[in-house]
Amino acid sequence: MQNFFIQKILNKEIDISSIPEKYINKELVNIYFNTYNNITGIPKKYITKYMVNIYWNKYKTIYNIPEKYLTQSMVDEYFESNDSNYYHGELPKKFITDKILKKLLNNFNNTGICNTIPSEYITEEMVNKCFNMYKNIRYIPKEFITDEMVKIHFDKYESLYGIDQKFIKSYMIKHYWDKYKTIKFIPKRFLKDYMINEYINKIII
């Protein structure tokens, strides 16, 4: 089965986030990275500084770069070259300068998205504005998300993408599996052997 997934990667027929965790190892990750030159979806424990350097030089984005490999110069260059001042993700506080904070606050004023802003600058009013606009918890910092928000989000999008594992419930897994028949985004604790087998059989055909 390992060779099957490697061949799928070499043929660019699968992304790593769709491969069951038990089949992911250093060899497979290296083949995946050398094929795509992209760290998106690669478990952080396998990401190396070498990969980050190639990824950064190719895409000039700080998305998906583990904090231990992220530098202030990368962050500054990203925001200098990004005309929209937009960053979707929670940027580590140590990289947020006064100049970047101003851009993040301007981004909120323009988009209503607040998950990029340090929590001490976020108000309940901002969170409510953001959620009422999008009904999407991906745009809200984790510490402000409630079970009710997660339910509304899942009912709208019917997807596990972007939902923190601690909020995922059994009924979501059942609905998601029945609808998509994919193990992508299903936490390991919810995965059943029949799901993995059915999923693998589907992509083999």
Cβ atoms within 10 Å of 122's Cβ, excluding its own: 18
* pLDDT over threshold 90, residue 180: yes
How much is the pLDDT for 87? Answer: 61
What would the pLDDT profile of 38-73 be if each residue is shown by its tens digit? 999 999 999 999 999 999 999 999 989 999 999 999
Q: Euclidean distance between the first and final Cα of the chain, in Å?
A: 14
Query: Helix, strand or coil for residue 8?
Result: helix
How much is the pLDDT for 126? Answer: 94
The token duo for 36 is 């795509």
Mean pLDDT on 121-148: 93
d(CA 12, CA 8): 6
d(CA 126, CA 124): 5
State the pLDDT confidence band at 142, using cuts at 50, 70 and 90.
confident
How much is the pLDDT for 155? Answer: 97
d(CA 69, CA 113): 26
**Segment among 131-135, 140-144, 170-174 with least mean pLDDT:** 140-144
pTM value is 0.82
* pLDDT over threshold 90, residue 110: no
Cα angle for residues 176, 144, 160 (degrees, 5° grid): 10
State the pLDDT confidence band at 146, using cuts at 50, 70 and 90.
very high
The answer to whether the CB of 84 falls within 8 A of the CB of 75 is no
Q: For the residues of 24-76, what is the DSSP string, one character each?
A: --HHHHHHHHHHH---TTS-GGG--HHHHHHHHHHH---TT--GGG--HHHHH
Please give the mean pLDDT across all residues of the chain: 91
How much is the pLDDT for 108? Answer: 87
d(CA 107, CA 103): 6
Task: Report, in this order, helix, strand and coil percent for the chain, each rounded to 5.
Answer: 65, 0, 35
How much is the pLDDT for 118? Answer: 84
Mean pLDDT on 23-47: 96
Considering only residues 98 and 84, tell me which one the structure prediction assigns the higher pLDDT: 98
State the pLDDT confidence band at 88, using cuts at 50, 70 and 90.
low
State the pLDDT confidence band at 164, using cuts at 50, 70 and 90.
very high
Mean pLDDT on 12-33: 94
* pLDDT over threshold 60, residue 85: no
Report the amino acid identity of residue 162.
G
